[in-house]
Amino acid sequence: MKYRLFIILLLGLFIQSISLAQSKGKTENIVLILIDGLRWQEIFRGAEFDLLTNPKYNSVDSLERMKKYWAENTDDRRKKLMPFIWSQIAANGQLYGNRDLGNKVDVANPYWFSYPGRAELLSGYVDEKINSNGYKNNTNMNVLEFIHSQKAYNNKVCAFACWTPVGKCLNKDNSKMMINIPWENITGDHLTEAEILANEIQHLAPKILGYGERLDFEVYALAKAYIQAHHPKVTYLDMGDTDEYAHSGHYDSYLEDIHQFDQILKHLWDMMQGDAFYKGNTTFVIVTDHGRGVGAEWTSHNSDIARSQETWLMVMGPDSPALGEVKTEGQIYQTQYAATIAHLLGLHYTVDGQTVGEKIQSVSKFK
């Protein structure tokens, strides 16, 4: 009898171990990348002819710009604008949000601008008190802080932001995570040459955008140097040039920045896949915080600007089936991102007293 009970116990432990193994995939590292105010229209349609040819929105009437970004065919047009996204992520990852196909991604908050959008996607729920870009420290739990609180990720989560209020959104003043905002240096006793150079660049680069923002290439340089030196397991890059160029009505600069953002994704992905620490076990999650208007309202976004709630999502990593451009009808909300990111690491994200958005089932192979 004791022998039989022993066998049953061993069998139970074996089944439990299999179950636990099935609940965790290959992803050990996450790179979450946010690009502020990039419309789904450019992602899935490429450059918009009426805006591309309107002298009001372009500093120079350039045939070269038309040659660079325009094509009659939608597939060709979006590949010209974002070659990495449409050659690599479309082949090996997932793209959600092409509303022309009925595939929808939306913000859930009622405001449709930057701070509330970030707070929503990072926390997994909507707090309607967060209703201003000048909002105070956000004391709500966010998924990065949640991951950082796990033993395996303690001191292995970092964030690099283009915009000073991102520090408020992540509750930097009360957080133990490494959160780098404009124009803070990477600090430490033994900085690499790349870290030293990235620190210098952010102070030498022109501050052309204002609003407490540093340029996206500065964020990229700092994050890349830090990743190479310290190998964090979760990295958040928060970028915003697209939003500022759009607000200023410069469609040509907006397109150029989209193209440069695409190249940043390429260089970061290639660098990390060439590093044994990250190769084959790293998932990129690429998001925006809100949409924009259409036609003459493309420069703006808020609850008074129609379609500003329309967004998109991209994922690429070892546990995400290569669905490419998702062409089936469906609805995703940004409140679902936090649980999805945690799930990719084998974690169940919860917040006391709050109902967070459910994970996106199709993003991962395991349940």
pLDDT tens readout for residues 26-59: 999 999 999 999 999 999 999 999 999 999 999 8
Residue 281's CATH number: 3.40.720.10
Q: Is residue 278 part of a domain?
A: yes
Pairing of strands 94-96, 313-316: antiparallel
pLDDT in tens, 313-350: 999 999 999 999 999 999 999 999 999 999 999 999 99
- Whether residue 123 lies inside any domain: the answer is yes
Residue 146 belongs to a domain:
yes
What's the domain count of the chain?
Answer: 1
> What count of other Cβ atoms lies within 10 Å of the Cβ of residue 302?
13
Spatial separation of the C-alpha atoms in residues 272 and 280, rounded to whole Å: 9
CA distance 321 to 39: 24
pLDDT digits (tens, 9 = 90+) for 141-198: 999 999 999 999 999 999 999 999 999 999 999 999 999 999 999 999 999 999 999 9
Which domain covers residue 82, as residue numbers? 27-363
79-126, pLDDT tens digit by residue? 999 999 999 999 999 999 999 999 999 999 999 999 999 999 999 999
User: Is 16's pLDDT higher than 50?
Assistant: no
pTM of the model: 0.93
Question: E strands, 28-156, where?
Answer: 29-35, 94-96, 103-106
pLDDT tens-digit profile of 264-279? 999 999 999 999 999 9
In a domain, 66, yes or no: yes
Q: Which pLDDT value is given to residue 60?
A: 77
215-241 burial code (b ≥16 CB/10 A, e <16): bbbbbbbbbbbbbebbebbbbbbbbbb
Q: What is the pLDDT of residue 8?
A: 43
Residue-level pLDDT at 209 = 65
Query: Which band of pLDDT confidence, cut at 50, 70 and 90, is reported for residue 19?
Result: very low
Rounded to whole angstroms, the Cα distance separating 131 from 109 reads 9
Q: Is residue 135 part of a domain?
A: yes
- The 3-state DSSP class for residue 160 equals strand
| DSSP for 234-257, written as a single string | EEEEEE-HHHHHHHTT-HHHHHHH
pLDDT at residue 2 tops 70: no
> Does residue 16 fall inside a structural domain?
no
The confidence score (pLDDT) of residue 30 equals 98
pLDDT digits (tens, 9 = 90+) for 203-249: 998 887 655 689 999 999 999 999 999 999 999 999 999 999 999 99
Please tell me the distance from the alpha carbon of residue 104 to that of residue 311, in angstroms, as a whole number.
Answer: 8
Is 180 contained in some domain? yes
Q: Are 135 and 164 in contact (CB under 8 A)?
A: no
| Residue 4: predicted pLDDT | 57
Tokens of 203: 């102070």
- Taking the C-alpha atoms of residue 252 and residue 60, their distance in angstroms, rounded to an integer, is 8
* 4: in domain: no
pLDDT at 13 over 70: no
